[in-house]
């Protein structure tokens, strides 16, 4: 047949430049293999550094999810609770309780759930709830601070061990030839461990500073919202105290006139 294609037509000529042919895909050429090679080049110190980097990334993902949920719902919850607090504290407490899965909901619900507290008790309840929420917000900070402190030290340890390996492989004197391959391998191990420790520490420090800025903003926001709620409650409390005192105070003028008429 004229349309038949023979396989022999695809067989390259013996003089064909085989280097131009595409190399087959190998799983070992993936970025994961590059990471494993980098860890192997850095020596044993790269193993704990890799663990610290994984812990840092996991902490960053968990904290990012936590902080991502806050700005989308806080303003709406605060607006609804403060508006309801001007008219009905029970309704405001119910709104805050429905938002109990958010930090701002738990913070506002803590003083509103109390039964007729004094303004001082109301303030203490706000402060106690704020401290509990700040503890949740600071979760993971100690881990990141530890990584910032440990990673450079591990990198320095890898530098020292790499230099020791280099000097042991030099074997200067004694008429023995210097193995340059082993010497350069030790220097490469030292430099790789140093760079790895610095990179992990810098990554953890950047993540920590970002989260600390979020925590500062949240602390200021809680202080502003708590102050607004406390002002509303103090106004309502003093109004109720004024009305109760007004009804409880006897009319001394009428009493004196009644006594004079009896005489």
Q: How would you write 218-263 as a 3-class SS string?
A: HHHHHHHHHHHHHHHHHHHHHHHHHHHHHHHCCCHHHHHHHHHHHC
pLDDT given at position 231: 92
Report yes or no: 207 and 56 within 8 Å, Cβ to Cβ.
yes
- pLDDT band for position 21 (cuts 50, 70, 90): very low
pTM for this predicted structure = 0.70
d(CA 132, CA 138): 10
Per residue in 26-79, pLDDT (tens digit) is 444 455 556 566 566 667 788 899 899 999 999 999 999 888 877 677 888 899
Q: What's the mean pLDDT in 248-262?
A: 44
Q: What's the mean pLDDT in 126-141?
A: 91
pLDDT top residue among 81 and 38: 81
Report yes or no: 103 and 250 within 8 Å, Cβ to Cβ.
no
d(CA 243, CA 248): 9
Q: Per the structure block, which two tokens stand in for 224?
A: 């502003």
Q: What's the mean pLDDT in 122-150?
A: 92
Q: Per the structure block, which two tokens stand in for 167?
A: 């000097």
Q: What's the mean pLDDT in 209-220?
A: 93
Long-range contacts of 203-207 (CB under 8 A, 24+ apart): 203/53, 203/56, 204/52, 204/56, 204/144, 204/147, 204/148, 204/151, 205/144, 205/148, 207/56, 207/59, 207/60, 207/63, 207/144
Per residue in 186-208, pLDDT (tens digit) is 777 788 888 889 999 999 999 99
Pick the range with the lowest mean pLDDT from 79-83, 102-106, 161-165: 161-165
pLDDT top residue among 195 and 24: 195
**Residue closest to 215 by CA, chosen among 120, 148, 139, 106:** 139
Q: Residue 6 carries which DSSP code?
A: -
Question: Does 146 score more than 90 pLDDT?
Answer: yes
Pick the range with the lowest mean pLDDT from 46-55, 124-133, 243-252: 243-252
- pLDDT band for position 237 (cuts 50, 70, 90): confident
- pLDDT band for position 258 (cuts 50, 70, 90): very low
- pLDDT band for position 260 (cuts 50, 70, 90): very low
Q: What's the mean pLDDT in 94-114?
A: 90
């Amino acid at each position: 047949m004229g349309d038949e294609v023979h396989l022999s037509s695809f067989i390259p000529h013996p003089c064909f430049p085989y280097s131009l042919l595409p190399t087959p895909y190998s799983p070992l050429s993936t970025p994961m293999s590059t990471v494993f090679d980098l860890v192997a080049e850095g020596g044993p110190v790269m193993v704990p550094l890799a663990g610290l980097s994984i812990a840092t990334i996991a902490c960053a993902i968990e904290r990012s999810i936590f902080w991502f949920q806050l700005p989308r719902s806080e303003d709406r919850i605060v607006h609804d609770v403060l508006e309801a607090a001007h008219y009905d504290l029970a309704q405001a407490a119910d709104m805050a309780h429905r938002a109990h899965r958010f930090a701002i909901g738990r913070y506002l619900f803590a003083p509103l759930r109390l039964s007729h507290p004094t303004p001082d008790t109301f303030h203490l309840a706000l402060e106690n709830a704020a401290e509990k929420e700040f503890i949740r917000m600071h979760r993971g900070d100690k881990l990141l601070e530890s990584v910032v402190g440990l990673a450079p030290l591990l990198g320095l340890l890898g530098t020292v061990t790499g230099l020791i390996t280099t000097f042991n492989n030099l074997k200067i004197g004694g008429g023995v030839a210097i193995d340059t391959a082993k010497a350069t391998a030790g220097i490469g191990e030292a430099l790789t461990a140093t760079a790895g420790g610095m990179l992990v520490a810098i990554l953890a420090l950047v993540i920590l500073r970002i989260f600390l800025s979020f925590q500062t903003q949240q602390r200021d926001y809680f202080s502003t919202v708590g102050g607004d709620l406390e002002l509303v409650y103090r106004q309502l409390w003093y109004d109720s105290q004024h009305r109760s005192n007004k009804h409880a105070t006897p009319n001394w003028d009428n009493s004196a006139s009644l006594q004079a008429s009896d005489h």
